[in-house]
């Protein structure tokens, strides 16, 4: 009996030891991350968390504005002025804000931008990714009258240069190049050196200094002009950012959203497991839970206590769950077969089952609500239709035999319709889709081999074409319509996993990319979506939602369709809990 009371005493004392931290002074915001950013170097941001951290530490010329869903000027004082030269060059004229300064008071000038671009193109540094996103930049020209004005010379004339040219963090020249030795080298020279890897001593010295400074783990050695400073980083546990007491944008009379930074401290806790993260939220050990899975969302909404304490947000993102075909396979070479097989997916019920009905179906790769100006609503949504699939297969020349569907191939030999479907193992949504597809195909007598692939092997499998069909998440771009990377024949060994492309479709994609006026774009995009349904190299099933759960006292979270789905620097704490409904 005495052991029983001793046990109760022990449990009670342990309970009092670990009270969840409830009503502390709300100056800090605690957010959950799934993985460690690993490398905070602004040149080699390996995952989305690193990008978010870099946005806190550094400022770019333009930054994504989550409230409007487009780019807004941050270090620049307005969007750049475009000047097209001939048919192959673009000049983008930028003007930096006069209030922008570094931490030591020096102003941010065009020479800093030039230095940053040279660093991005410097060979021998781990900057391949950011370099490829800026590879249209050829040179930078200064304005002799105004040290804050400069012009970027770009090769090509795509309309998205306007936004993409400003999306990189501006770095201070004095930190890595105090003697200004790189000012003698023009950016064009550096760009040429990066292409043919010819060694230039000044660049080699710069690369060495960069590597020695180990910016990836000590970003304070290359301090940017962003609002926050990294004060603590325990790898794979947490990161803490503190607001700089005097930041240059505080002096602006009407700071735009991209230049607001309210929380005094931002703390990111790394919790890999979803169930643990949900419990941490329930115990008030974290305040914001981004990228919540459908199951956790449903479970939290079902709990009355959670409904009282937390607000639930849901927006439809730009990520599409897509099923695709390997158009180089002989069985899938014609569009009728592909159309027939695409009718074996049931996007409506899959969306309801796996995403709780949140998310949106689409006819093409365009967002139905955010891109409604260009969305072709006259086209039918992809639906589950077994009889129509059979009709289409017969029209494509397939005959149903006791052994399966066969038809004569190009060389006269009969070929058998059997499919191998590849998808990443970790996602349970893909597994449900694959099982539903296989069940439907079995009803028609088509054998399907399901191949879950371990995450890191998936990219290689897709690139090398070792599959008949795949199911994956296609990330979209909210700012431009450029489908060259995924549907142009030129990229068949890169991002065009379907290996699709005919001269007609190539021309259409190039025209879409080059269109300038909205009317022109609308007409071309309507044709593009119709082409996508007709040719069916991939079947867009549905857009995924971003789900967010946060404490009810938190405001100005701006849940948006742009990654990461919320805006951390604008968060404020209210005194009373807001009655925030679930937003669709």
Partner 1 sequence: MSQPTRRTTTASRWLATGWLLLLVSGSLLAPWLPLPFLPAVPDLAHLAEAPAWGSAPTHWLGTDPQGRDVLTELLYGARQVVSITLPAAALATLVGALAGGAAGFWGNGGLRLPWAGWLTGAAAVWWGLALPGRGVVAPGLLGLAGLAWWVGRRPGAQPSGWAVPLDGLFQGALTLLGAVPRLVLVLVFAAGPALGATQVMGLLVLVAWPEPARQVRTQMLRVRELPFVDAARAGGLAPARVWYRHALPHACRPLLATAPLSLAGLIGLENTLAFLGVGRSPDVPSWGNLLGTLQQEPGAWWILASAGGALVLTLIALQQLAQQAVKRN
Partner 2 sequence: MTVLGRWLLAQLGRAGLAAWAVTSFVFILSRLDATKPVDLLLGEPDAQRTTLAAGASAARRLAVEQRLGLAEPLFYVSRAQQAGVVSWQWHGLHNQYHHWLVGLAHGHLGLSFRDGQPIGPRWRAALAYTLPLAGLATLGAVAGSLCLGLALAGGPQSRGWRAGLHLLLTGLQGLPLFAVALGLLFAFANPDVLNILPAYADAATAEEAWPQQALRLVLPVAALVLAVLPELALLLASILSQELSADYATTARAKGLTTNQVLIRHALPNALLPLLTAWAGLLPTLVAGAVVVETIFALPGTGRLLAEAVAAHDYPVVVAGVLFTALARLLALALADVLYAWADPRIRLTP
Q: Would you say 407 or 463 has its CB closer to partner 2?
A: 463
Q: Using CA atoms, how far apart are residues 293 and 573, in angstroms rounded to an integer?
A: 25
Beta-sheet pairing, 572-573 with 554-555: antiparallel
Nearest to 57 by CA among 199, 206, 229, 186: 229
Identify residues 267-296 at the interface with partner 2 (CB under 8 A): 269-273, 275-276, 279-280, 282-283, 285
Our finding on whether 138 is near partner 2 (CB under 8 A) is no
Q: What is the rounded CA–CA span in Å between residue 379 and residue 570?
A: 40
Among residues 295, 329, 552, 556, which is the contact residue for partner 1, using CB under 8 A?
295
Contact between 573 and partner 2 per CB under 8 A: no
Residue closest to 231 by CA, chosen among 247, 220, 222, 216? 220
Helix (H) or strand (E) holding 30: strand 28-33
Per partner kind, with CB cut-offs from 5 to 8 A, the member of partner 2, partner 1, none near residue 255 is none
Residues 406 to 425 in contact with partner 1, rule: CB under 8 A: 420, 422, 425
Task: State which of residues 159, 452, 465, 495 lies at the interface with partner 1 (CB under 8 A).
Answer: 452
Q: Any residues with CB less than 8 A from the CB of 394 and at least 6 apart, and which?
A: none
Residue 59: phi, psi to the nearest 5? -115, 145
Position among 106, 129, 209, 349 found at the interface with partner 1 (CB under 8 A): 349
Terminal CA-CA length for the chain: 56
Residues contacting residue 320 through CB under 8 Å, at least 6 positions apart: 362, 365, 473, 474, 476, 540, 541, 542, 543, 544
* Contact call for residues 235 and 36 (beta carbons, < 8 A): yes
Q: Report if residue 490 touches partner 2, rule: CB under 8 A.
A: yes
Both structure tokens of 409: 């191939």
Q: How far is the CB of 355 from partner 2 (least distance, A)?
A: 21
**Which of partner 2, partner 1, none has residue 238 at its interface (CB below 5 to 8 Å by kind)?**
partner 2
Scan for tokens 């050695």, then name that residue. Answer: 221
* Interface map 426-445 toward partner 1 (x if CB under 8 A): x-x--xx-xxx-xx------
213 binds partner 1 per the rule CB under 8 A: no
Among 68, 83, 204, 460, binds partner 1 (CB under 8 A): 460
Pick the piece of the chain touching partner 2 (CB under 8 A) from 111-119, 138-146, 211-219, 412-420.
Answer: 211-219
CB neighbourhood size of 306 (10 A): 16
> Binders of partner 2 among 149-168, rule CB under 8 A?
156, 158, 160, 164
The correct pick among 299, 329, 361, 527 for binding partner 1 (CB under 8 A) is 299
Q: Does 491 bind partner 2 (CB under 8 A)?
A: yes
Which does residue 425 touch among partner 1, partner 2, none (CB within 5 to 8 A, set by kind)? Answer: partner 1
Token readout for 481 is: 């319509």
Total chain residues near partner 2 (CB under 8 A): 73
Residue 464 CB burial class (10 angstroms; 0-12, 13-18, ≥19): exposed
Q: Which of residues 306-345 bind partner 1 (CB under 8 A)?
A: none
Residue 307 binding target from partner 2, partner 1, none, CB below 5 to 8 Å by type: none
Q: Which residues bind partner 1 (CB under 8 A)?
A: 275, 295, 299, 346, 349-350, 352-354, 420, 422, 425-426, 428, 431-432, 434-436, 438-439, 449-454, 457-458, 460-461, 466
């Amino acid at each position: 009996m005495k052991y029983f009371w001793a046990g109760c005493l022990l449990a009670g004392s342990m309970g009092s030891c670990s009270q969840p931290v409830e009503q502390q002074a709300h100056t800090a915001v605690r957010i959950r991350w799934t993985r460690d950013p690993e490398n905070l170097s602004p040149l080699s941001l390996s995952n989305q968390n690193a990008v978010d951290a870099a946005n806190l530490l550094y400022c770019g010329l333009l930054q994504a504005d989550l409230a409007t869903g487009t780019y807004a000027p941050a270090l620049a004082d307005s969007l750049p002025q475009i000047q097209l030269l001939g048919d192959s060059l673009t000049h983008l004229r930028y003007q930096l804000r006069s209030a922008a300064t570094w931490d030591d008071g020096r102003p941010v000038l065009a020479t800093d931008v030039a230095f940053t671009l040279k660093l991005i193109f410097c060979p021998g540094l781990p900057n391949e990714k950011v370099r490829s996103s800026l590879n249209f930049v050829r040179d930078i020209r200064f304005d002799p009258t105004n040290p804050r004005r400069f012009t970027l010379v770009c090769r090509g004339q795509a309309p998205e240069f306007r936004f993409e040219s400003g999306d990189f963090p501006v770095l201070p020249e004095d930190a890595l190049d105090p003697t200004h030795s790189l000012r003698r080298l023009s950016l064009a020279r550096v760009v040429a050196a990066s292409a043919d890897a010819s060694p230039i001593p000044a660049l080699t010295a710069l690369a060495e200094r960069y590597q020695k400074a180990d910016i990836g783990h000590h970003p304070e050695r290359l301090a940017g002009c962003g609002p926050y400073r990294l004060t603590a980083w325990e790898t794979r546990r947490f990161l803490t950012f503190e607001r700089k007491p005097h930041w240059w944008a505080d002096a602006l009379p009407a700071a735009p959203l991209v230049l607001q930074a309210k929380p005094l401290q931002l703390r990111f806790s790394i919790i890999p497991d979803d169930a643990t993260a949900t419990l941490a939220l329930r115990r008030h050990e974290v305040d914001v839970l981004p990228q919540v899975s459908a199951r956790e969302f449903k479970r939290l909404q079902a709990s009355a206590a959670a409904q009282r304490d937390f607000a639930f947000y849901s927006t439809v993102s730009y990520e599409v769950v897509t099923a695709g075909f390997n158009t180089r396979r002989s069985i899938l070479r014609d569009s009728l077969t592909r159309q027939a097989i695409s009718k074996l997916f049931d996007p409506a019920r899959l969306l309801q089952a796996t995403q709780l009905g949140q998310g949106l179906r689409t006819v093409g790769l365009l967002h139905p609500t955010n891109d409604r100006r260009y969305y072709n609503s006259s086209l039918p949504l992809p639906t589950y239709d077994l009889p129509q699939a059979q009709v289409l297969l017969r029209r494509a020349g397939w005959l149903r035999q006791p052994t399966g569907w066969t038809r004569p191939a190009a060389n006269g030999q009969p070929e058998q319709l059997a499919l191998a479907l590849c998808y990443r193992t970790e996602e349970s949504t893909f597994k449900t889709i694959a099982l539903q597809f296989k069940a439907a195909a079995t009803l028609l007598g088509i054998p399907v081999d399901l191949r879950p692939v371990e995450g890191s092997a998936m990219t290689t499998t897709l690139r090398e074409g070792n599959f008949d069909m795949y199911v994956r998440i296609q990330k979209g771009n909210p700012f431009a319509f450029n489908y060259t990377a995924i549907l142009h024949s030129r990229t068949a060994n890169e991002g065009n996993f379907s290996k699709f492309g005919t001269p007609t479709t190539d021309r259409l994609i190039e025209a879409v990319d080059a269109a300038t006026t909205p009317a022109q774009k609308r007409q071309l995009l309507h044709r593009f979506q119709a082409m996508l349904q007709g040719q069916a190299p991939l079947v867009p099933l549905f857009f995924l939602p971003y789900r967010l759960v946060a404490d009810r006292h938190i405001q100005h979270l701006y849940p948006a369709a742009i990654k990461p789905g919320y805006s951390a620097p604008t968060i404020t704490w209210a005194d009373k809990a807001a009655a925030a409904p679930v937003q669709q």
